[in-house]
């Protein structure tokens, strides 16, 4: 039966302590919904400022600047009392203020719009839930009212009720409260259906950011039966962060004689660094910490090892085993009866936690097959689908996590024991305590303690009208009825009279009253209205700002301003300057003020002489001049025309002659095992594989689905991905990114020279004008080609896939931008070879995205569809126009720019802020690589924020020479800085349509791919170009390319056969003929593979050989195109010019790799070459050398790993002995002299370790043997 309770589809929400996640059942599977920044998880953070409220990433990104008004950890307060010891402990670490409210309820104090507000944890949680609801509504395109919300299994009744209240305040009908580990078990069960056919006992180990749960379930034929549950509602990743913060606070105190505990801002920055370190230590054995200007101008730099992190948290890690043992005991199961131990929650990535758990289960392999961060939301979405009647094959039998009972003369009398299946109804008999007692009070508690008052008080009621009788004579019964949400009803009855009374437990003592909830709902509506009002005000401000800059740019444009009289031009410019000046000083003005200023400015447009401009645009004489102008600039000048129809006429006219107006663009051994698909991106890379009849995007060792394309070199090791990116601010000159912007290019390329100005690392010219990257590694300077850096990223992707598949990977499909030329494609193949990969296919990125789109749309459409893929990523831009019909994906045309993307937008912001720093502080930071790197990182964050908010703050403490840099930037300013780049994005779209001989109205879907397509201005321009057409955002912009590459890999593996891919060559291919003319044999957008032939002849009498030069590009002059290679066709018989016939054949394979042959028809003599573009490409010998270098790096990495493991083993052993010795029960077993000897040996070992961090493995092993010889006898006694 389908449940109802509101409108629309029911969603599943994992309301987490640190991050939240939302999922929904769609097209017979769960869809984890990405937020407005493209992330699948959203920080459970809310911030308040003088002007607005921020939720999620936007809140988290500004917390260092606004710590006292940025609220997180609401889940650690919800349903608790202010006097709870745990609340009191947490308050010492929070930068925001928490006070005691009515009924001992904790309230959070914030300053919002200049007014102090007191907010309950339920209100903060409701704001996060509202964000999740909006995220789901944006995806579904409809209003959402119903939700399933997850809570820790060990949440008590008060906390569950408070969570429901938070849902109500957020405008949600909470259909079901479900335990987090139970939700994760559902995710596991659906992902492992075949493996659970015969029945399985599964232990869910869920260690998240702030809570810890263990559940033991039996899964059989779709029935999920919870056997037992246990946990700790106050144990998780944040507690591990706290230990590190304390550790670093003490280290700072030791080193600098300063105590930072009273500075919330310094603590917040240190906590952020500690969180990053914790994540890094999950994949690396040591990590660097660097916080510039942490406190009173002091920089804090240090290193921490995984062993030290483990030692700081060892008691917390060991605490994780008690709930596991409790679960097994309650379920009456032995650990050997558990078939799978499933890891859930981000903190389960900590190696020590995994090792402790694995050791407990006698070395059992832990199950990591479900995404640790998304499993709970996944299960919640399934539960939601069950309630909606969309899923019938799953039955959930859950249990109550805590015992329920009443106070019987001070003792806890249990009525419903913990781990009783719910729903449940149980009765228990009671009697009177005194003679002639006529009423009995029933006080209801939840917990496991023998004394009633030590448990959690839920509520109470009186049963009156008991007939007078001696004590113990009356027979009373208490009935406990608990529903599927864990909500309790209690009633009592006197047997002789049938007198009854009861209560639905609402725990009024700690819970919000109905009146308070209604008030908070009204407050939520008020916040929403204020947010909307703020948005309108900012929109009005942005509109005025946009208009002012638009006029300024147009009037200043040299192609237009000469047509406007100087006097009129001066008036317009003065008006614009005045408005911009007013804007800078009236940021908080009201909507009508901004609108008035706009109308005031609009008056000045009539001072321009529109007649001359109109005549020039609308009559033949002006058209010739206009042909070489940017059509977009012409359209933008429409504001100068007196009538709207005239402006539209200009735009339509120039659209009709687009071909004339557009300037020509100068374009320069199979192994065994499964083939993987790799999106080798400029800024981020992604790997996927066909798995269980679907594409699986593989998470890396940090739990992320995309990995930074960064490699770092230190004195001790190489770092990849997140580990490299996390230390780049401290090591900018040796942290390499953007290798894709160098691969297959020449050092002298204009784009390379432009990029060098922004890179903190050094690039120099190598042989054959090849760019070489300079790094310092282990104290030695090295020169690396871009192919080597890319190969290291590919190795990381390969290892990520191998960890998931559990097998070696040799074969890969790698994606490249559609507009990569032959040299860049060959170089990418070389990178794959260096990485030990057999590159089965090079596939164009937009084509891969089209495969993803085609797979996800399969079965939903009938007939052919024309689809335009608009792929704007971090460093490259591609457009492809395809027809998809019945599994055939046919590329019609492709265009793009291999040097346009998000990083170019970042560069504009960096330049803008450099100039602002110059103006404000009279300092030039452009020569300081470290300051530039920190500024760039902040600019990346600003760019992302401006995709979801119209203005954002930027704050960097101690950016340069002690200067703190704080500023605000609006979306309008960002768009103005990048307007020319955004406009450039339309040129390839027009070219694609033109080449495909297709009108824009024939395009059925415009599909967005690449992170930069989240920029609102890019979307608006594209939507306007397609006459308001709704853009398709149904595929994940960050993952679509890897998804499609995995589909192509599956096609090559013969795993998928329903799809046929017909791709095209992006650039024309031809030869140089007499007069430096390019004779095209294979025109651009020809389907590949392709073969074309042409007959050529000699241009001299008795010419015996011909030099054949092969070019790629669209220019008429051969030398203006890209030279791919050359060869000589000789042994031509002597004859007059024009007589000999030479047949030249071009053959292009599926990878876009070209082979050219020439045959002298008279003699049959053939000459053949596979174009390798030796000018820019690595030679076979160099590739082989780099493969050996890669093996050497791997061996060095292995040697470093062994050395660090030996060091960690010694460090772990020393601290283990020290901690054991500190236990009084243990040291009492030793004579004092022996104890002293051991203590001295430990101190000596730790002292030696601190001063010999870079010792060799055998030295650490010798020290270990030395220490063990002293301590092993003691350890034997203890154990």
Instruction: Give catalytic residue positions.
Output: 14, 75, 180, 206
- The b/e string for 989-1010 (b: 16+ C-beta within 10 A; e otherwise) is bbbbbebbebeeeebbbbbbbb
| Separation between Cα atoms, residue 1071 and residue 1142, nearest integer Å | 13
CA distances in angstroms from 969 to 880, 944, 965, listed in the order given: 34, 12, 13
On the question of a cis peptide bond just before residue 1089, with omega within 30 degrees of 0, the verdict is yes
β-strands 395-399, 53-55: how paired? unpaired
Helix (H) or strand (E) holding 843: strand 838-844
* Burial class, 1276, CB count within 10 angstroms (exposed 0-12 / middle 13-18 / buried 19+): exposed
Residues in the chain: 1279
β-strands 1087-1088, 19-26: how paired? unpaired
> Strand ranges (DSSP E) for 922-1004?
951-960, 963-970
| Separation between Cα atoms, residue 489 and residue 503, nearest integer Å | 6
CA distances in angstroms from 308 to 269, 315, 617, 1253, listed in the order given: 21, 13, 73, 13
- DSSP 8-state secondary structure symbol assigned to residue 1059: -
β-strands 1069-1073, 1106-1112: how paired? antiparallel
Backbone angles phi, psi at 1090, to 5 degrees: -140, 150
- DSSP 8-state secondary structure symbol assigned to residue 665: P
- The b/e string for 1053-1081 (b: 16+ C-beta within 10 A; e otherwise) is beebeebebebbbbbbbbbbeeeeebebb
Backbone angle region of 711, left / alpha / beta, with phi > 0 → left and psi within -120 to 50 → alpha:
beta
Is 972:545 a contact under the CB 8 Å cutoff? yes
* Tokens encoding 280: 């890094």
For 733, residues 6+ apart whose C-beta sits below 8 A from its C-beta are: 760, 761, 762, 775, 776, 929
Q: Which among 240, 316, 234 is positioned nearest to 275, based on CA atoms?
A: 240
Backbone angles phi, psi at 544, to 5 degrees: -65, -45
* Tokens encoding 454: 């030590």
Q: 3-class DSSP state for residue 1084?
A: coil
| Separation between Cα atoms, residue 333 and residue 227, nearest integer Å | 10
For 746, residues 6+ apart whose C-beta sits below 8 A from its C-beta are: 752, 769, 770, 771, 1176
* Tokens encoding 1188: 């050996």
> Strand ranges (DSSP E) for 961-1035?
963-970, 1005-1009
Q: Which among 621, 618, 609, 610 is positioned nearest to 654, based on CA atoms?
A: 618
Residue 697: CB atoms within 10 A of its CB come to 20
Is 175:10 a contact under the CB 8 Å cutoff? yes
- The CB-side HSE value for 98 (13 A sphere, CA atoms) comes to 28
Q: Would you tell me the crossing angle of helices 180-191 and 375-387 to the nearest 10 degrees? A: 90
Residue 900: CB atoms within 10 A of its CB come to 24
């Amino acid at each position: 039966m389908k449940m109802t309770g509101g409108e629309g589809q029911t969603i599943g929400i994992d309301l987490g302590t640190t991050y939240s996640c939302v999922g929904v059942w769609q097209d017979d599977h769960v869809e984890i919904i990405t937020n407005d920044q493209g992330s699948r998880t959203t920080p459970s953070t809310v911030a308040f400022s003088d002007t607005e409220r921020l939720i999620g990433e936007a809140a988290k990104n500004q917390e260092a600047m606004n710590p006292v008004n940025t609220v997180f950890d609401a889940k650690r307060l919800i349903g608790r009392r202010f006097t709870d010891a745990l609340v009191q402990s947490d308050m010492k670490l929070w930068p925001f203020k928490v006070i005691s409210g009515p009924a001992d309820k904790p309230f959070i104090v914030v300053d919002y719009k200049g007014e102090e507000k007191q907010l309950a944890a339920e209100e903060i949680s409701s704001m996060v839930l509202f964000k999740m609801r909006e995220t789901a509504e944006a995806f579904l395109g409809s209003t959402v009212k119903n939700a399933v919300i997850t809570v820790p299994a060990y949440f008590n009744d008060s906390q569950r009720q408070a969570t429901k209240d938070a849902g109500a305040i957020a405008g949600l009908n909470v259909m079901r409260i479900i335990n987090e580990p139970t939700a994760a078990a559902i995710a596991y069960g659906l992902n492992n259906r075949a493996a659970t056919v015969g029945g399985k006992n599964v232990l869910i180990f869920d260690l998240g950011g702030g809570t810890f749960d263990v559940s033991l379930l039996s899964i059989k034929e779709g029935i999920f039966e919870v056997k037992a549950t246990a946990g700790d509602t106050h144990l998780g990743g944040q507690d591990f962060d706290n230990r590190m913060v304390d550790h670093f606070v003490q280290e700072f105190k030791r080193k600098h004689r300063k105590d930072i505990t009273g500075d919330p801002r310094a603590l917040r920055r240190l906590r952020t660094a500690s969180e990053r370190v914790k994540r890094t230590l999950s994949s690396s054995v040591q990590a660097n910490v660097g916080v510039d200007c942490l406190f009173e101008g002091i920089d804090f730099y240090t290193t921490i090892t995984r062993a030290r992190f483990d030692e700081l948290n060892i008691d917390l890690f060991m605490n994780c085993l008690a709930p596991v043992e409790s679960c097994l005991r309650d379920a009456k199961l032995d650990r050997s009866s558990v078939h799978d131990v499933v890891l859930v929650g981000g903190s389960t990535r900590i190696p020590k936690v995994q090792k402790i758990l694995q050791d407990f289960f006698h070395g059992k392999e832990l199950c990591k097959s479900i995404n640790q961060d998304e499993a709970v939301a996944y299960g919640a979405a399934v539960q939601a689908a069950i309630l909606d009647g969309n899923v019938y094959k799953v039955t959930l039998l859950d249990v109550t996590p805590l015992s329920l009972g009443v106070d019987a003369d001070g003792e806890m009398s249990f009525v419903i024991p913990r781990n009783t299946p719910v729903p449940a109804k149980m009765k228990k008999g009671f009697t009177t305590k005194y003679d002639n007692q006529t009423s009995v009070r029933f006080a209801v508690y939840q917990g496991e303690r023998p004394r009633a008052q030590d448990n959690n008080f839920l509520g109470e009621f009186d049963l009156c009208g008991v007939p007078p009788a001696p004590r113990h004579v009356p027979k009373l019964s208490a009935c406990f009825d608990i529903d599927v949400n864990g909500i309790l009803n209690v009633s009592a009855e006197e047997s002789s009279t049938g007198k009854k009374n009861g209560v639905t437990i609402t725990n009024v003592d700690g819970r919000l009253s109905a009146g308070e909830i209604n008030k908070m709902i009204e407050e939520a509506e008020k916040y929403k209205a204020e947010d909307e009002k703020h948005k309108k005000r900012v929109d009005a401000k942005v509109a005025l700002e946009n208009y002012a800059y638009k006029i300024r740019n147009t009037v200043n444009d040299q192609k237009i301003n000469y047509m406007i009289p100087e006097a009129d031009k001066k008036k317009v410019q003065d008006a614009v300057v005045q408005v911009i000046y007013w804007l800078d000083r009236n940021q908080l003005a009201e909507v009508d003020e901004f609108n008035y200023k706009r109308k005031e400015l609009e008056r000045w447009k009539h001072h321009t002489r529109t007649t001359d401009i109109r005549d020039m645009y609308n009559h033949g004489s002006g058209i010739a001049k206009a042909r070489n102008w940017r059509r977009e600039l012409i359209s933008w000048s429409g504001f100068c025309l007196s009538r709207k129809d005239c402006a539209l006429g200009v735009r339509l006219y120039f659209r009709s002659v687009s071909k004339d107006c557009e300037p020509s663009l100068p374009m320069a051994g199979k192994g065994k095992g499964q083939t993987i698909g790799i999106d080798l991106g400029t800024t981020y890379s992604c790997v996927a594989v066909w798995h269980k009849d679907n594409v699986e995007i593989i998470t890396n060792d940090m739990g992320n689905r995309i990995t930074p394309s960064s490699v770092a070199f230190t004195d001790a090791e190489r770092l990849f991905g997140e580990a490299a990116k996390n230390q780049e601010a401290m090591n900018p000159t040796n942290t390499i990114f953007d290798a894709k912007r160098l691969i297959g290019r020449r050092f002298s390329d204009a784009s390379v020279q432009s990029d060098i100005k922004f890179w903190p690392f050094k690039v120099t010219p190598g042989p054959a004008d090849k760019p070489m990257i300079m790094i310092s590694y282990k104290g030695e300077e090295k020169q690396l080609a871009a192919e080597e850096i890319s190969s290291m990223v590919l190795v990381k992707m390969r290892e990520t896939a191998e960890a998931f598949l559990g097998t070696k990977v040799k074969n890969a499909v790698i994606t490249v931008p559609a507009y990569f030329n032959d040299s860049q494609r060959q170089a990418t193949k070389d990178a794959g070879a260096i990485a030990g990969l057999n590159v089965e296919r090079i596939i164009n990125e937009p084509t891969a995205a089209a495969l993803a789109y085609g797979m996800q749309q399969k079965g939903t459409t009938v007939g052919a569809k024309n689809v335009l893929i608009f792929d704007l990523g971090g460093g490259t831009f591609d457009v492809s126009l395809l027809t998809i019909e019945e599994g055939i994906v046919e590329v019609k045309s492709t265009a793009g720019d291999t040097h346009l993307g998000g990083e170019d937008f970042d560069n504009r912001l960096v330049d803008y802020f450099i100039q602002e720093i110059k103006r404000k502080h009279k300092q030039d930071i452009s020569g300081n690589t470290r300051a530039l790197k920190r500024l760039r990182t902040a600019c990346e964050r600003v760019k992302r924020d401006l995709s979801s908010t119209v203005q954002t703050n930027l704050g960097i403490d101690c950016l340069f020479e002690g200067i703190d840099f704080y500023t605000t930037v609006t979306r309008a300013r960002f768009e103005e800085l990048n307007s020319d780049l955004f406009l450039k994005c339309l040129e390839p779209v027009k070219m694609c349509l033109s080449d495909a001989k297709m009108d824009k109205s024939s395009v059925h879907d415009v599909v967005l791919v690449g992170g930069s397509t989240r920029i609102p201005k890019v979307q608006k321009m594209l939507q306007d170009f397609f006459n308001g057409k709704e853009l398709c955002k149904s595929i994940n912009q960050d993952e679509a390319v890897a998804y499609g590459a995995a589909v192509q890999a599956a096609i090559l593996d013969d795993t998928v056969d329903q799809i046929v891919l017909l791709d095209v060559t992006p650039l024309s291919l031809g030869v140089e003929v007499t007069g430096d003319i390019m004779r095209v044999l294979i025109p651009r957008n020809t389907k590949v593979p392709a073969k074309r032939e042409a007959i050529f002849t000699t241009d001299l009498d008795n010419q015996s050989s011909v030099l054949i030069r092969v070019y790629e590009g669209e220019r008429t002059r051969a030398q203006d195109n890209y030279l791919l290679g050359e060869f000589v066709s000789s042994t031509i018989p002597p004859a007059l010019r024009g007589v000999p016939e030479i047949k030249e054949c071009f053959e292009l394979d599926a990878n876009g790799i070209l082979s050219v042959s020439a045959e002298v028809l008279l003699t049959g003599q053939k000459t053949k070459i596979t174009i390798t573009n030796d000018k820019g490409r690595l030679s076979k010998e160099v590739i082989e050398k780099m493969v050996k270098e890669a093996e050497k790096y791997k061996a060095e990495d292995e040697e470093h790993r062994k050395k660090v493991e030996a060091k960690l083993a010694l460090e772990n052993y020393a601290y283990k002995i020290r901690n054991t010795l500190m236990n009084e029960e243990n040291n009492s077993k030793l004579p004092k002299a022996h104890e002293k000897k051991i203590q001295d040996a430990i101190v000596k070992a730790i002292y030696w370790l601190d001063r010999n961090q870079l010792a060799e493995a055998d030295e650490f092993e010798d020290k270990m043997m030395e220490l063990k010889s002293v301590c092993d006898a003691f350890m034997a006694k203890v154990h």
